[in-house]
């Protein structure tokens, strides 16, 4: 399992945190450790999930990953 902290642009409140948490939690082979305003700590099986999959989930919530 790979651990990564994703920096996220556009988050400003608890609703933002919950939206990102919800989208990341939908992904198989991904464990969401923590989501805060501006970042998310995740663990994932890098043989099944890549950074693009994570970024796409965050974009689905309406935000943008800024470190990929």
**Distance, CA of 3 to CA of 30 (rounded, Å):** 10
Report pLDDT for 42: 97
Report pLDDT for 10: 95
Report pLDDT for 37: 96
* Topology, domain 10-65: Alpha-Beta Plaits (3.30.70)
Dump pLDDT digits (tens) for 7-53: 999 999 999 999 999 999 999 999 999 999 999 999 999 999 999 99
Report pLDDT for 61: 96
Q: What DSSP string runs through 15-26?
A: HHHHHHHHHHHT
Whole-prediction pTM: 0.90
User: pLDDT higher for 68 or 49?
Assistant: 49
């Amino acid at each position: 399992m790979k651990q990564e902290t994703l920096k996220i642009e556009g988050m400003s409140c608890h609703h933002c945190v919950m939206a990102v948490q919800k989208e990341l939690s939908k992904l198989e082979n991904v464990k969401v450790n923590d989501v805060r305003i501006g970042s998310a700590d995740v663990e994932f099986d890098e043989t099944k999930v890549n950074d693009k999959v994570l970024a796409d989930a965050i974009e689905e919530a309406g935000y943008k990953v800024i470190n990929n």
